[in-house]
């Protein structure tokens, strides 16, 4: 059974930092792209960042470039999202995702989500 388990969310003041983790299990993800999406109340889910499991190619949404960093540790099957200089508009439920689609329009697996709240 494939599982993506997120952790690391919480409440932080504007300007602060959080690190999200996504532990992947249940299959080999070497041909997958791993990513983070977020969904704020009343808004659609949006792409945040992605990394190719094997080649390590990285993409970011413009809104988080220079503030967020995605990384992975292969032997731990874990993907991270380091979030710095957080803003109230970053408040959302953050979801880990795995996709065979490079642009991640189609997602094969989703995590359950972790809440990030940034206070002003």
User: If you average pLDDT over residues 39-64, what whole number do you get?
Assistant: 94
By DSSP bridging, strand 33-39 and strand 46-52 are antiparallel
pLDDT at 39: 98
Residues 6+ apart with CB under 8 A from 97: 4, 34, 35, 36, 37, 104, 107, 109, 110, 111
- The pLDDT mean for the chain works out to 96
Backbone phi, psi, residue 62, to 5°:
-60, -35
pLDDT at 115: 98
Confidence of residue 56 (pLDDT cuts 50, 70, 90): confident
Q: What is the largest CA-CA distance in the chain?
A: 41
pLDDT at 54: 85
Residues 6+ apart with CB under 8 A from 66: none
User: If you average pLDDT over residues 86-100, what whole number do you get?
Assistant: 97
Count other Cβ atoms within 10 Å, centred on residue 15.
11
Half-sphere exposure of 111 (CA within 13 A, CB side): 27
């Amino acid at each position: 059974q494939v599982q993506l388990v997120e952790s690391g969310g919480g409440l932080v003041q504007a300007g602060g930092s959080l690190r999200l983790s996504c532990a992947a299990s249940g299959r080999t993800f070497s041909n997958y792209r791993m990513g983070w999406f977020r969904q704020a109340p009343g808004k659609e889910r949006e792409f945040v960042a992605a990394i190719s499991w094997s080649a390590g190619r990285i993409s970011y949404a413009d809104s988080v470039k220079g503030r967020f960093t995605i990384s992975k540790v292969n032997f731990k099957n874990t993907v991270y999202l380091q979030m710095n200089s957080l803003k109230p508009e970053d408040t959302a439920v953050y979801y880990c995702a795995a996709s065979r689609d490079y642009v991640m329009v189609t997602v094969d697996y989703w995590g359950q989500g972790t809440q990030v709240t940034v206070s002003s």
